[in-house]
Chains A and B, each alone.
Chain A
Amino acid sequence: MLKVDHLTKKYENVVAVDDISFTIKEGDIVGLLGPNGAGKSTIIKTIAGLLRKTSGSITMGNYPHTAPEARKKFTYVPEVPELYDMLTVWEHLVFIAYAYNVADFEQKAERLIERYDLWDKKDKLAKELSKGMKQKVSICCALLPEPDLYLFDEPMIGLDPKSIRETKVIFKELSEQQKTVLVSTHLLDSIENLCHRVLVMKQGEIIVDMAMEEMKSILGNGESTSLEDLFLEVTRDE
């Protein structure tokens, strides 16, 4: 579904992402982990086409990630939800439905805003929403087009416990529907039992790329080792 090949991203003299490669197949939920400044958001923004890659290639299906055909295949949830201040929650969803040409979107949109407890806020302007509410709208906007690939950058930040739980359920449903999810997060326990695979980044490089079970068996002590323990182990400075 997604192939990142020798991707490098530089900001002037700073190498944010250094020659990384990975492939994600359909139905995988992949956790992108790493300490602050490791390059997680840069990778996601580059895949989403918001940042220009310095070198390497990114393909979705058989298309380069910036091709119009590829853009129909993914949606993106940014770390900080930025919406149109003067559009209502419902209008955001209608706008996204039109932009992605989603057929019969009304029912899907209604179901999503119900799942995220936004029904009573549906006619509220985005500027009247709290940060957590905006994040919920941002997630709903990403889920509505039902693309093949979902790029989530810290989606759980600011969400209430019920919405975090709902998001986890949705991740599972997406995986069952053979959809692909690349999720960057610091809330390790929230994705521990969801991810099939983790990519751990440090200083712009991928230092671990393995299946969850494999990672646990190599580094940890079986079931008792948490993702947090593993993360701290692999990102520990020598």
Chain B
Amino acid sequence: MNEFRLLAQRDSWIIVNHFLEIKRNPKRLLVYLLYIFWIGTLVFNSVIRYRHVSELHLQSGPQRLGAVFAGLGTALILFFLYRGTKESSTFFTMGDVHLLFPSPLSPKKILLYSMVKQSLINFLLYGIFILAFMPMIIDIVSVNLEYLPFMYLGYVGLVLLIGPLSFLIFTIGSKYGIRRRLQQGLLALMAVFILYLLGYTISVGNLLQGLLQGLNASFINYLPVIGWSKVVFMTAVAGYSPYSSVALFLQFLFLLGCILISYYIADDYYEDTLKATEQRSLRKKRKEGTEKSRRSALFRRRNLIVKKVGAGPWALLWRSKLEYSRSDFHPYLGLLTILFLLAGIAAGIFAGKQTDNLTSIYMTNGIIAYIIFIFSASTAGQHELTKPYIFLIPGSNLLKIISSNLLDILRMSVNSLALNIPLGILLKVPIHIIVIMVVFMVSFYTLNLSSNFFIRIIFPNALDQKALYPLFLMLQILLLLLPGIIVGGAMALIYQNPLLAFVGIALVNIIIIGVLLLLSNAVFARLEWR
């Protein structure tokens, strides 16, 4: 049988089996309907906003959106290209590794098929992200719905390139022994990019204006990949020109070129993709709860000595400290701390030019709390529940729950301080406001952590957790976010003080955390280790 036909046949069986599974277990349909409903709410939210906020748009909106797209896009592409000089990306599963790789099928054809398949899947999947950000985009700029497909294709065209381009860079680097030179070239490109922005900022004399103008310079539109995708993305905002279609064509031609060049030069890639495929499989198992979940490690320190923090349940806290000491800068400090610090400094500098400093600090904390809420909803630290120790160690269940989550909460407190202290200093905000902001953010994080822990306890089956994720997210928004917002909003309105909104939200959050902890404690005793 022709190789491509065989691989397509395998995938058609897989698709049919998915449908048969739904037929065998119609409850799954409910799960898919929930996903559709979730996506529908995102679209609905965008449409509602589209009708109501058009008159509120900032004049500099398109410039800001273009700058964010170009800046983030460049950083993303450079990061993945640089990573591509060190490790390969993968388009395979462990099933492919063990069944396909040793088979007589041509490695080139396996690669071509898998790359094209992955690109097609990603083409559809990545759309969810743009839907999620659509309300925010509509808030900033006026979007022409007629050219919305361009916005989608501009964004997807960029992210689709990441895998093939990264793979190609690795293959070229390995095959021709030029990995080091490629690394140096990419570092030089990064330096040029940073120096360019720096130069622009100095010439304009204002950081924000420098970045906005630098990232929207007309020559950027003609740069391969970044420029092309930016032009296509911004068509729905800036209007259509014939170059939009040309850029779209060039973008997808480039993607096709990457795939075809990989096909022609990659013939001995099995070992290169093995590590990435194993990691991918491990990530999948972590999502399914069959493997321990932890953040990716920055370091792998050995021979560590971490002092005892207590007996019984506190051994779980000691283990968390040990893991963070091994894999991060410090048990209480991580990469996120630096990002929060930089965000605090950047927000402080930007907001320093505004007249209302308090609004800036409220907005910064509100946005970051929202992002934490959305992104931590699916990744709470439930890894302890996948191991038997939390069930076996003597001690009260409540202490075990607290002990296994405490370090994450302390680390978030440090991160919150790293954000708010520079922000407070730069904006000359009174200290009590900084304290309230820190308590607000930590209460938000802890609320999510405890609610996720509670969900994990009620639904120990990781597949259920994954499948019911949209439902959980909706319930979390309704039951956890809304009470705080109502109480906080009411307090702010009654006393005409927006700070009280944060106080109200933090107070309600703390009450809900207490309730969730008590509920978790009650359910924990009846829990099984699976």
List residues of A whose CB falls within 8 A of some B CB. Answer: 48-52, 66, 68, 71-72, 74-76, 78, 81-88, 91-92, 95-96, 98-101, 125-126, 138, 141
Contact = CB atoms under 8 A, between A and B. Distances in A.
Nearest to A141: B99
A83 B101 contact: no
A119 B469 CA distance: 36
Contacts of B271: 50-52
Contacts of B464: none
Given A72-B104, A84-B93, A100-B104, A95 B17 contact: no
A66 B102 contact: no
A99 B6 contact: yes
Nearest to A51: B271
A66 to B, nearest CB: 7
A126 B98 CA distance: 14
Nearest to B3: A99
B14 A71 contact: no
B268 interface: yes
Contacts of B13: 86-88, 91, 95
Contacts of A141: 99
Given A100-B104, A101-B104, 5 more contacts: A52-B271, A82-B97, A84-B99, A99-B104, A138-B98
A95 B7 CA distance: 9
Contacts of B10: 84, 87, 91, 95
Given A49-B270, A85-B95, A95 B6 contact: yes
B98 A71 contact: no
Interface string B1-37: 1000010011001100110010000000000000000
A83 B101 CA distance: 13
B95 A83 contact: yes
A95 B94 CA distance: 16
Contacts of A66: 268
9 contacts: A49-B102, A50-B97, A51-B271, A51-B274, A66-B268, A84-B10, A91-B13, A99-B6, A125-B17
Contacts of A86: 13-14, 17-18
Contacts of B355: none
B270 A50 contact: yes
Given A50-B274, A51-B271, A88-B17, A82 B281 contact: yes
Most buried by B among A68, A72, A99, A100: A99
Most buried by A among B6, B13, B93: B13
B8 to A, nearest CB: 11
Contacts of B21: 125
Nearest to B18: A86
Interface string B81-106: 00000000000011101111111111
B464 to A, nearest CB: 15
A71 B17 contact: no
A68 B110 CA distance: 13
Closest 4 CB pairs of A and B: A82-B94, A84-B95, A71-B104, A86-B14
Contacts of B274: 50-51
A95 B5 CA distance: 11
A95 B270 contact: no
A119 to B, nearest CB: 19
Nearest to B274: A50
A87 B17 contact: yes
Nearest to A88: B17
A100 B10 CA distance: 14
B203 to A, nearest CB: 46
Most buried by A among B17, B18, B100: B17
A83 B270 contact: no
Contacts of B17: 86-88, 91, 125
A74 B102 contact: yes
A138 B274 CA distance: 19
A14 B101 CA distance: 25
A66 B267 CA distance: 10
Most buried by A among B9, B18, B98, B106: B98
Nearest to B269: A52
Interface in B252-293: 268, 270-271, 274, 281
A98 B9 contact: yes
B288 to A, nearest CB: 9
Contacts of A50: 97, 101-102, 270-271, 274
A48 B102 CA distance: 6
Contacts of A98: 1, 6, 9
Nearest to B5: A98
Contacts of A101: 1, 104
Nearest to A53: B271
A51 B102 CA distance: 11
A48 B18 CA distance: 32
Contacts of A82: 93-95, 97-99, 281
Contacts of A71: 102-104
Contacts of A78: 98
Contacts of B100: 99
Contact of A96 (B18, B94, B99): B99
A2 B287 CA distance: 41
B14 A84 contact: yes
B287 to A, nearest CB: 13
A30 to B, nearest CB: 18
Given A85-B95, A87-B10, A49 B105 contact: no
Contacts of B14: 84, 86-87
Most buried by B among A50, A72, A83, A86: A86
Most buried by A among B17, B21, B103: B103
Contacts of B98: 76, 78, 81-83, 138
A50 B96 CA distance: 11
A163 to B, nearest CB: 19
B99 A95 contact: yes
A96 B100 CA distance: 9
A139 B99 CA distance: 11
A82 B100 CA distance: 11
B99 A68 contact: no
A123 to B, nearest CB: 9
Contact of A76 (B1, B6, B102, B268): B102
Nearest to B93: A84
B104 A68 contact: yes
A50 B299 CA distance: 28
